Amino acid sequence: MEEIPDGARTVHTDYDTVYLRDHEPEAHDLRRLYENAKRDQWNVSTDIDWKQPVDLDEGFVADGLIDIHGTKFWDKMNNKEKGEMNRLFSAWRLSQLFHGEHGAVLVCGQLANVLPSADSKYFMATQVMDEARHTEFFQRYLGERVGKVYEQAPVGRELFDYILADPRWYIKTIGLQLVGETFAVALFKMLSDTAKDELLRYGCKMILRDEARHMGFGMLSLPEQVKEMDAQERQEMEEFTIYFLRNTLTGGFPKEAYLDMGFNKADIKEIRDLRKEKAQSADFAMFRSLFKKEMHTTLVNNLHKCGVLSESMKASLEQELRVNVSEALAAD
């Protein structure tokens, strides 16, 4: 057996592949999504101008997205140090997107096997291509412009290992298309609006078009499945959704970037505590103030439209994750 590459890992999977006989269109909305996906393909190699100049001293993402921006740690830095902090933070944040896009390639490949209809399988084949393209974009961006790639954060590894190992297509779809893609749409919209590097802004706009389609797949494929669930399946689905939301919304912490910048353990602990305090107060940092309303509003309404937003789910969102469900529903 061929050995896996250094740094790679294996995830044990056990699922049944559905091999269809009839490929006639049944779900016309899904077939339309598939047609749109074919129409809107783009090429990382030819549709992105990789020769655009980049100012390494300026950085890549908006400074306001960095946890320490506006704190004593930031104020002590000179301009060169701020540029390097931006580079390292950008490398960490974009590395998590890079690893997430690769994880999405793998999950979508599984979904193309396990989904029960031709319309779903056809669309999922296009999403495999989309996610491969996004992985390629971030691999090139990190390698050619930022110059650094970080490992996937433990929380990201845990989430992808879970949905890769679970055999149920609707669990994979809730994790990736409902929660993950809702998160991605809000994040890529923020980056496309605020990134300092024009190439990054443009790349995120291109990716955003694809991600909106992917989110649409979850919205079209899940409602009927949710309606047919028995009480035990419903409970398991809700528990999984809250678990996935909790870990997605709290996210990872760029400890490695701060270590590379020369911060000591005590400083990093203080930075982490400051971040938690901001997250629990009305004084949100730029990341959360830009991201929070878009993400929470879309997320709550998508959960509602898919039939996942039960009373117990509402309580968990409000008490555990500090999501204002009523406000989000009213904003749609």
> For the chain, what is the mean pLDDT?
93
Cα dist. 188→46, 212, 224, 285, 325 in Å?
21, 10, 29, 17, 23
Interval 123-139 mean pLDDT: 99
Residue 270: inside a domain: no
In a domain, 211, yes or no: yes
- In this prediction, residue 2 has a pLDDT band, given cuts at 50, 70 and 90, of low
Q: Note whether 52 and 198 are within 8 A (CB).
A: yes
Where residue 51 sits, what CATH number does that domain have? 1.10.620.20
Task: Look at 149-158, 209-218, 243-252 and tell me which has the smallest mean pLDDT.
Answer: 243-252
Which pLDDT score is estimated for 289? 63
Task: Read off the pTM.
Answer: 0.94
CA 44, 90, 179, 163 dihedral sign is positive
Interatomic CA distance for residues 247 and 126, integer angstroms? 27
**pLDDT value, residue 59:** 93
282 vs 122, residue with greater confidence: 122
- For the stretch 83-116, what's the b/e string if a residue is b when 16 or more beta carbons lie within 10 angstroms of its beta carbon? bbbbbbbbbbbbbbbbbbbbbbbbbbbbbbebbe
Residue 283 lies in a domain: no
Helices marked H in the chain: 28-39, 72-75, 79-114, 118-141, 154-165, 169-173, 181-194, 198-227, 231-250, 255-260, 265-279, 286-305, 311-321, 325-331
State how far the Cα of 292 lies from the Cα of 296, in Å rounded to an integer: 6
Please report whether residue 189 resides in a domain. yes
Q: What is the mean pLDDT of residues 210-223?
A: 94
In a domain, 282, yes or no: no
- Per-residue model confidence (pLDDT) at position 112: 98
Number of Cβ atoms within 10 Å of the Cβ of 186? 22
**58 in any annotated domain:** yes
Instruction: Return the ∠ at Cα 196 (arms to 191 and 200), rounded to 5°.
Output: 55
Q: What mean pLDDT is predicted for residues 39-49? A: 98
Structural domain boundaries, residue 61:
28-265
Q: Examine residue 293 and state whether it is found in any structural domain, yes or no.
A: no
244 inside domain: yes
DSSP string, 237-251: HHHHHHHHHHHHHH-
**40-68 mean pLDDT:** 94
Is a pLDDT exceeding 90 seen at residue 179? yes
Q: Measured between alpha carbons, how far apart are the two ends of the chain, in Å?
A: 53
Residue 286 has pLDDT above 70, yes or no: no
Residue 293: the pLDDT is 74
Residue-wise pLDDT for 185-204, tens only, equals 889 999 999 999 999 999 99
Q: Check pLDDT > 90 for residue 78.
A: yes
Q: Where is average pLDDT lowest: 116-130, 147-161, 290-304?
A: 290-304
Count of domains forming the chain: 1
